[in-house]
Structure 1
Amino acid sequence: MKPPPFEYHAPRDLGEALRTLAEVRGKVLAGGQSLIPMLNMRLVAPEHLVDINRIESLSALDASPAGVRVGALVRHSEAERSGAHPLLARALRLVAHPVIRNRGTVVGSLVHADPAAELPAVLAVLGGTVQVARWSGEAAVREVAAREFFVGPMESAVQPGELAVSAFFPATGPRTGVTFEEVARRHGDYALAGVCAVVTLDPGGDAHIAAARVACVGVGPVPVVVDVGEACAGRAPDWGGAARAVQEKTEPEGDIHASAAYRRHLVGVLAERALRNAAREGAAAGGV
């Protein structure tokens, strides 16, 4: 299989990249782990390909007490090894295989907006943001919240002429546990269903649950985020009730790998497991 013909651009800085994107309608090449197969299978046929791999400023990974900002050229493997964010690192271990993670980019995965992928769910459950830039006489940057960034299956809020330059994953804070649970036919395959959870215990030092959120993959057109803090509040959380609340929010579809009913059942099991494990982690570690 060969890609369709295209004109290749290799800008050396962000301004040049944005000016190029303003002048031509094309696809951005970063890691290429999704784009190249799509080109080869003729699922996309852009007239222009803009390769941003020479733009050094997009390779930054900056951690602070507020969270971690990941540039558009930060590879999966780099973000995983950095340990800058515990939930991001756990999700990245589930992404495909090492050879893919060595080239694939965190921001590229977000822009690809695959509802079965792990990273969109992580950004969504944390309430993160994506910085998107375009050329308007100069570089103009807007910040897009995760709840608005994922528009539909394989569709993000990045418009023609724009470039996603970074993503911000907020820190989880003290007495907070995080987990990512999924089931796949084989390790590295797309998950039949997956759930990541963030659970915060009461800052007073007891075992009461103060807040709990989950995000699900593979059971809706975009990451499904559910706040289950009310069901989990107090010393005796209703984990089963929280799991049922998550199931009610999902819209799974059946395929050759699993029926819609099985996916809905699976997401309930995974939600309960993820919430219990996240609460246990928060209590044991005193924070993450």
Structure 2
Amino acid sequence: MQNVAETFSLDCAKVVAHLPGENLLGRIGSLEVRLARSTEEIEAAQAVRYRVFCEELGAQVTVPGAAVQRDVDAFDDICDHLIVCDRNLPGPDYRRVVGTYRLLPQERAELNGGFYSASEFELSSLVERNRGLRFVELGRSCVLPAYRNKRTIEAMWQAIWAYVKRHEIDVMAGCASFHGTVPAAYAEALSFLRQNCRAEGNWAVRAVQERFSSMDLMPEEAINAKTALMAMPPLIKGYLRLGARFGDGCVVDYEFGTTDVFVVLPVSFISPRYISYYSNDGESLVA
């Protein structure tokens, strides 16, 4: 994660204008996952991000965001905002938002100055090498503590898969983060990703030179796969299970207090069993 914009807009009307009608993408139990459909719901997603990134994890925010206790940046105006709502909570839907994921389709990024991750990773080169494929950038993923469980994660991935099918996306990409600004603290996990899960060929992507930090911190023979995986955040382990590959080099984001890696997940890499699993639950939602 990183702050790439110097100016911020708290007006989300442009986002709401391009969203289709119902937007429901996933449902498990009392949890419904869909795209935000009002300014209030987008602001609720930003408030969840603030609670997780700033209050819980200590990220620094700019004055506009801090003043309203929301994590905001200029990209919010052009992204789709996936929200998880708990129908068992009282009040209108915008008061029921317990998790969020931000999605930026390639066409919208290219019309508005590029992708969010481009200040950390050479994403533009990756897209250019794969012209003809449709990318979506995933980011700003967070869930409130009480909802950090398998059910919520599965509901979110059901929704993301429905979104991918609905919009005919070929490649998911974006930053994922380790908490903390010392890559050596995650030497085994980062080394494992580089040595075993690095994106290659047309999928290769590298941290921008001026922010590049090596992920190759331990020799292969010293790495224990089990302990390396245990040190990874759940989001990164989830990407791995789906077949994702990772860029070369990590980036330290001091404002957010994270060490960022880049995830590349072509739809063609996803195991058929996961496609079947998520499609079966959400098939009626993407027809």
- TM-score, structure 1 normalization: 0.28
Higher helix share: 2
Bigger-Rg structure (1/2): 1
- TM-score, structure 2 normalization: 0.28
